[in-house]
Amino acid sequence: MHGNSVVFEAGGNLWRTTMQGGTATQLTSDSGFDMAPHFSPDGQWVAFTGWYQGNTDVYVVPAAGGAVRRLTYHSINRKVGEGKLRTSLDNIVLGWTPDGKNVVFLSRRTSFNPQVMHAFTVPLDGGLPKQLPLPWTGPLSFNASGTEVAYNKLSRVFRPFHRKHYFGGQAQDIWTYDFKTGKSRQITHWKGADVWPMWHGDTIYFTSDRGAKGVQNLWSYSFSKNQFTQLTHFDAYDIDSPTLGHDGIALSDGGDLYVYTFNDGQLHRIDVRVPMNGKHAQPHWADASKTLAGATIAPSGKLAAFSGRGALFTVPAKHGSTQTLTHDPAADERDPAWSPDGKQIAYILAKGRSDEIALRNATGGAPTLLTHDSKLSYQGPLTWSPDGHWITYIDADEHLWLQNVQSGKRYKVATDRSGRGAFGDVTWSPGSDWIAFSRMLADRKRGLFLYHVTDHSLHGISSGQFDDDAPAFSTDGKYLFFASDRLVNLAGGTSDWSSTTNLDSSGLYAATLDKDTASPLAPRQPKAAGQPTDKPKKNDKKKASTHTGPLHIDLAGLMSRAVQLPVPATNIDRVRAAKSVVYYSTQPNYVLGGHLTGEKPQLRAYDLDKRKDLTLDDGGQDLTLSADDSTLMYQSKGHWVLRPTSFDKKAKTQKLDLSHMRRWVQPRAEWATIFGESWRDVRDYFLNPQLVKAHWDAMGQRYGKLLPRATSRNDVNWLIGNMIATFGESHMYVGGGDQGWKSPASETADLGADFALDTASGRYKLARIYHGDNTLPGYRAPLAQPGLKVSTGDYVLAINGQSLKAPMNPYALLNGTYGTTVSLRLSRHASGRQAWTIHVKPIANAEKLHLLAWIRHNREMVSKLSDGKVGYVYLNDFEATGAHEFIRQYASQMHKQGIVFDDRWNLGGSDALEMSVFSRIARKLTNMFATRLGWTFTGPTASYGYKALIYNRGSASNGDMFPYMFKQAHLGPIIGDRSWAGVRGYDGPFSLLDGGHLTVSDNAMYSLHSQWVVENIGVEPDVTVHDKPGQLNRDHDAQLQTAVDMLMKKIKAAPRTLPAPPPWTPAFPKQPVYPQCTVHMNHTTCG
């Protein structure tokens, strides 16, 4: 606010109104999304963050209206809804410097980690952003003289998730920092969240949840009185995005606009009318094929049905037109399954407060409900029995149900408590009297089960020794085919096999159902002349090969009758059988960050008669089979494909044309459906049913009543995010969706260097060149390539032939250049004499180069402080980047007498990877080996040195779990700040009908003493050491220093050196007597 004027965001644009309210005036109208508006001190300009061209940047617009002007150019190269939802958006405007000459904003442009934000100023007239001397920060506010700031240490703002009732390590406090003295002071000490500091005169205003209701309200701290005062008393919704003006604070709460005025200390609600055109809420056509939620093939193989954008469609193979079967704008209709007679389609109908299993005529018409008033959500896929009398489906409590379509009676087949989506393929016997499926066993192996429909008996047939899944009955009723991870193809390093993984571990198997049936691989004998043949006549082939009556299964010893079919070892995910051919789809080996290079999914087939295996499609996956066994449907290379069931790689295939799957979207009705399904997903899948029962209905009503006021899809995410945040649980996120606005992406590339302005000449020079590592993927440094004539201190005179001089921002000339080659005109002199030109290929952003520089700097510092005795390993995350870094770093540090493991800012990732890293670090050294020439090495591969761990508030998720396990295993001291406090995970995101996603915590970590740990508390360090800006600006990392000091104290007391080999025994010795030795933490004793 400024004076009598208030600027706010609505519908993705900025609007201006007065304290008296009335009709607002529109300030921006671009086809992007605007946020975080701030008046300049003189009231002439409004700075804001604009989400245009696929990225957020800083913009200004005249307060009276006019053209928008861009001030920053920096791309994080993440699409809407992608990336870590625990991190804030980039280039978020925080305000202005007190003199009004610069806009203040948060950015990751110089960061090595997505959580780490730095504060920058950028001149109103344009130019190079300048970083404030705060190592990392969140929202901040200057005092009147501009010599100090009040700030939060971390940014948790401008994202659709705000964890409420939160007391973990990222629960913010207000600090001040003096730029002249370098001293910082902690102002607040509340265990919860004190955020949005706003410094005005003698007072710091902020929002806090320290009140009785735990709701974010406006508070103040008076320096002169040393007193905290609550200024507002909202009891339902948190205050959102307050901004400081000269005369007061503008804020929003529950969708209403307010101003708190300093002169009278009162809160004033502004009754404003926004005359927006409702562009985000306008009905429109959408391509439903972009958001598929299920597919099925008609029994004839001539049609397919898809769910997309909440509706059902039928798509012809060749002739005919795409038909829309459902038109309810308030429903999400998904997971279709075509009946064997081709007359009906079963599907899940999600509407209101429940999911129901519904049937609909394949040509359209009203639905018929098989379930009524369901209390739980349902999951696909649905499966029909071959006779069309039965259907199976799964509910949110992981019960597999069998329901009779005519009578409506249903039976609970089995339950799997291991997690969402735990049941494997559900498949039917050809006579409709048996069901086969896989589920998780107690030891986390998958096992096969058979269920008899007639007597409703359930039989487990797997041993539990292997992972068995993907069952399929042969059409003649003789065999049960399945995939099993029984093969061993270990992969490991040539020098260290102590860590291995099993690649291509699954094979294809066939078990005879009747104990008297011969193996499909039994030796064949030629028939004597005149003997009858077992081969059916041509006209009787189909009839003879299909079993139709009750199926006899000898359950005893069934799996002992299984044989491995001679197909290549691979990773099988689906199996289908038609006549004498077994069709199966495979997946590439998974590696961190994706699939193994060069591998593809495949559709393969094995012919039992010919006893041959064949690749049908390189790229085939998501395999399904028509009810008449005539046609396969699958995905390949981005298309849905139909293929006849033929053992012929050259069989003619037909790509399905999904381009006519168009859905008439009514956004407001769709938003209500998205809100409702998000509410249901949390109700049915959240891990703590007591919390759900206690208040989830009330939260749905509280935030649901604001839904009619939503003006954009982003508002819907905001409502859902705040609703799910009321649990105060970790890993509850919402994001993505059809935001209703698109603009062509124009990424700003990066040279992997820092610019500095030479104010005398107005020229920019290269202040620092990041060298990265050109031998490693992702670490290429554009200006550190061999043979380039470029050095730190060189002036950049022009980019791509365009002169570069202040006030132009050098990154403006790099906008749109990603993926291209750029020319740089360089000189050692600001005058430009003796200039030369080089050509470089810039990178997307320099985050990985900053990461490598951070690691190298810290390792050099540790080596210097310890005289080379202590090593350093940085654990960036437990995803691809962190895994690669750990492997590269750890081996070279293992020989040190001590190692500092740095878990700070670790964003977490994969449980499996974290456990793998932990097991390597926790491994105990038991013995040594020596070669003939005296070279020694350890066994197993392990560190013999002392260990210490440093971590901080940015250690999150698996980054939380790691210090907890480190401490429980007594590996060494843990040092730093309390961690994020989030160890309740999820099985995978829920897909919302417009492409959005929602995560719901459904599992939690607890201790061996049956206590919940870490969640909403964090891991307490053995030694608490806070990071302070003044120290870090002087290159003094107190946390790192403390860890090294503690390790060096141990090393000096008892050096950790590896033992030398003993003398070789003499020739023909007596029977040697080996001493019994015990390895202790600090020494080894033998006796």
Q: What does the pLDDT look like over 648-657, one tens digit per residue?
A: 999 999 999 9
Tokens of 914: 């974290």
Task: State pTM to two decimals.
Answer: 0.93
869-905: pLDDT as tens digits: 999 999 999 998 898 899 999 999 999 999 999 999 9
Give the model's confidence band at 84: pLDDT under 50 very low, under 70 low, under 90 confident, else very high: very low
Asked if residue 545 has pLDDT above 80, the reply is: no
842-871: pLDDT as tens digits: 999 999 999 999 999 999 999 999 999 999
Segment 759-786 mean pLDDT:
96
- Backbone φ and ψ for 864, nearest 5 degrees, come out as -65, -45
Asked if residue 542 has pLDDT above 50, the reply is: no
Give the model's confidence band at 541: pLDDT under 50 very low, under 70 low, under 90 confident, else very high: very low
CA distances to 67, 119, 174, 204, 1061 from 149, rounded to whole Å, are 31, 11, 10, 10, 61
pLDDT at position 1030 is 86
Nearest CA to 467 out of 504, 438, 427 is that of 438
Segment 3-24 mean pLDDT:
95
Nearest-angstrom CA–CA distance, 588 and 980: 35
Tokens of 818: 């990603």
Give the model's confidence band at 490: pLDDT under 50 very low, under 70 low, under 90 confident, else very high: confident
Nearest-angstrom CA–CA distance, 451 and 455: 9
Average pLDDT, the chain: 92
Give the model's confidence band at 1: pLDDT under 50 very low, under 70 low, under 90 confident, else very high: very high
Q: Long-range contact list for 666-670, CB < 8 A, 24+ apart?
A: 666/283, 666/329, 667/280, 667/281, 667/282, 667/283, 667/284, 667/713, 667/740, 668/281, 668/708, 668/710, 669/329, 669/330, 670/310, 670/329, 670/993, 670/994
Residue burial 164-197, b: 16+ Cβ < 10 Å; e: rest: bebbbbbbbbbbbbebeeeebeebbebebbbbbb
Asked if residue 145 has pLDDT above 90, the reply is: yes
Nearest-angstrom CA–CA distance, 151 and 1028: 13
Asked if residue 159 has pLDDT above 70, the reply is: no
Q: Are 851 and 760 in contact (CB under 8 A)?
A: no
pLDDT at position 841 is 97
Give the model's confidence band at 160: pLDDT under 50 very low, under 70 low, under 90 confident, else very high: low
Classify residue 231 by burial, with Cβ atoms within 10 Å: 0-12, 13-18, 19+: middle
Asked if residue 47 has pLDDT above 60, the reply is: yes
Give the model's confidence band at 488: pLDDT under 50 very low, under 70 low, under 90 confident, else very high: confident
pLDDT at position 539 is 46
Task: Name the least confident of 22-26, 112-116, 306-310, 811-815.
Answer: 112-116
pLDDT at position 546 is 76
Segment 1040-1059 mean pLDDT:
96
342-360: pLDDT as tens digits: 999 999 999 988 899 999 9
Give the model's confidence band at 1082: pLDDT under 50 very low, under 70 low, under 90 confident, else very high: low
Q: What share of the chain has pLDDT > 70, as a percent?
A: 94
Give the model's confidence band at 747: pLDDT under 50 very low, under 70 low, under 90 confident, else very high: confident
Segment 1026-1040 mean pLDDT:
91
pLDDT at position 526 is 74
pLDDT at position 79 is 44
- Backbone φ and ψ for 740, nearest 5 degrees, come out as 80, 0
pLDDT at position 161 is 62
Tokens of 655: 């790509």
Asked if residue 264 has pLDDT above 80, the reply is: yes
912-956: pLDDT as tens digits: 889 999 999 999 999 999 999 999 988 888 899 999 999 999 999
pLDDT at position 173 is 96
Asked if residue 185 has pLDDT above 70, the reply is: yes
Tokens of 724: 């799910």
Query: How distant is the alpha carbon of residue 760 from its chain centre?
Result: 47
501-523: pLDDT as tens digits: 778 889 999 999 999 999 999 99
pLDDT at position 938 is 87
Q: Are 170 and 216 in contact (CB under 8 A)?
A: no
Give the model's confidence band at 1081: pLDDT under 50 very low, under 70 low, under 90 confident, else very high: low
Nearest-angstrom CA–CA distance, 337 and 346: 5
Asked if residue 110 has pLDDT above 50, the reply is: yes
Asked if residue 126 has pLDDT above 80, the reply is: yes
Higher pLDDT among residues 83 and 928, named by residue:
928
- In the chain, the domains with their CATH numbers are 75-276 (2.120.10.60), 284-422+652-665 (2.120.10.30), 753-843 (2.30.42.10), 848-982+1018-1053 (3.90.226.10)
547-590: pLDDT as tens digits: 777 999 999 999 999 999 999 999 999 999 999 999 999 999 87
105: left (phi over 0), alpha (psi -120 to 50) or beta: beta
Give the model's confidence band at 157: pLDDT under 50 very low, under 70 low, under 90 confident, else very high: confident
Classify residue 992 by burial, with Cβ atoms within 10 Å: 0-12, 13-18, 19+: buried
Q: Are 362 and 371 in contact (CB under 8 A)?
A: no
Segment 275-286 mean pLDDT:
89
Nearest-angstrom CA–CA distance, 945 and 869: 9
pLDDT at position 497 is 53
Q: What is the DSSP string of 384-449?
A: E-TTSSEEEEEETT-EEEEEETTT--EEEEEE-TT-TT-----EE-TTSSEEEEEEE-TTS-EEEE
